[in-house]
Chains A and B, each alone.
Chain A
């Protein structure tokens, strides 16, 4: 069973797209999209990069470390941006959190 829907994104969260939201490269329009029920979202390049790292294993902190290293940018600023972007997605219902499997 799925857990509670509304997640609050923090540095320790390990977010992942839920089954009903699929990140896909649209070959026809040459753009990344998130497919969701009755909606097609067009994430920008940064959002795509973040979402590709959100595999349910990495924490938001890990993701921010990786991006800070890659772009040689201040980690605090990156972390704030990543949390804001993911929280926005969560508020729209397109983000879930990996949790321990109950035996």
Chain B
């Protein structure tokens, strides 16, 4: 079995500590430094690994402009420092410039997480003028054929390249986000080169995490152990070679690991996101866990109250909820038992140990299944859409 170690924590020198690290013991949870705002689930792309829930919020349920502005003001007041405008595709909201302007006005650092296919140079300029601090563009590959097929959107790859160039022309910092899986991992060296050619500051090499849409598409996406080992080598080599030129963040798929990931830094410890309909969630996949009641910003509770006191946030916070083998495990405050959504999806109980952990009774089964699927013939995607998904045309190779 191949052991994939989690990425190293960010380097901390004497004078520059990463703030989270100064405040992490099991039961403490301050207001998160950064919050993910999924302002819409609408998106022209149909990526088969989309991190949105399978049950998408329709546009009629989305918070209004005024409601989002109120959310932004409230976040700034309680001590949130950064907001990520995400989706769906955030630029599908006509009021995005207005929302970014408001966020800047209340002192928030703003990041746009976008597919970029709806952007024009003019609109990007307006966003820059509104105070946007950073742009992150997703790429599905390095050439039209594969990239447009994965996204289920013809012409998308070229539009992304255009938008990335405009981003740098406007002197905005650029992150290239590359979601990796069996069908595009062979392009990783070229994706690194593309990031350099686009003058990106940062590259996220994010292997697919298998919940929601990605779980439905696991057989078409799961990499082989050999692919993953090669990927890790390529990233490590590039990190060393490009130090100071390109920062590379690396997320490994946890099925092949021995230890589960510290998902979200632990449930309700460092992170929350807000869904298009205004629900305050411990992670973007949390609604896949049934039986939890997530409160909305439209409820009569403040966001800080929901974060600190709501039943859903407290259910898996800290270590008190754990069963064996987590309960007596030496690593319980290191990984917090892995990912609750994955535990729920694969075992039916979110309080079970994440099967990504070698101590889970299901680990071996899951690992074998991943290996089998990675070696399998399935390559057709189930595309993400509001209709519950559409199977790609054609036959499996």
Contact = CB atoms under 8 A, between A and B. Distances in A.
A40 B202 contact: no
Contacts of A5: 199, 201, 244-245
Interface stretch (B14-22, B226-234, B360-368, B379-387): B14-22
B249 interface: yes
A88 B133 contact: no
B109 interface: yes
A22 B168 CA distance: 18
Interface string A31-49: 1011101111111101100
Contact of B134 (A2, A20, A90): A20
A28 B31 contact: yes
B202 A88 contact: no
B82 interface: yes
Nearest to B136: A37
Interface residues on A, range: 20 to 34
Nearest to A87: B244
Nearest to B247: A93
A98 interface: no
Contacts of B173: 18-20, 37
B217 interface: no
B264 interface: no
Nearest to A86: B15
Nearest to A91: B244
Most buried by B among A46, A47, A85, A92: A92
B61 interface: no
A38 B79 contact: no
A90 B16 CA distance: 12
Given A35-B82, A90-B244, A29 B30 contact: yes
Nearest to A37: B134
B171 interface: yes
B94 interface: no
A37 B201 CA distance: 10
Interface of A: 1-2, 5-6, 18-20, 22, 24, 26-29, 31, 33-35, 37-44, 46-47, 85, 88-93
9 contacts: A6-B245, A27-B79, A28-B79, A35-B133, A37-B136, A37-B173, A38-B111, A42-B19, A46-B15
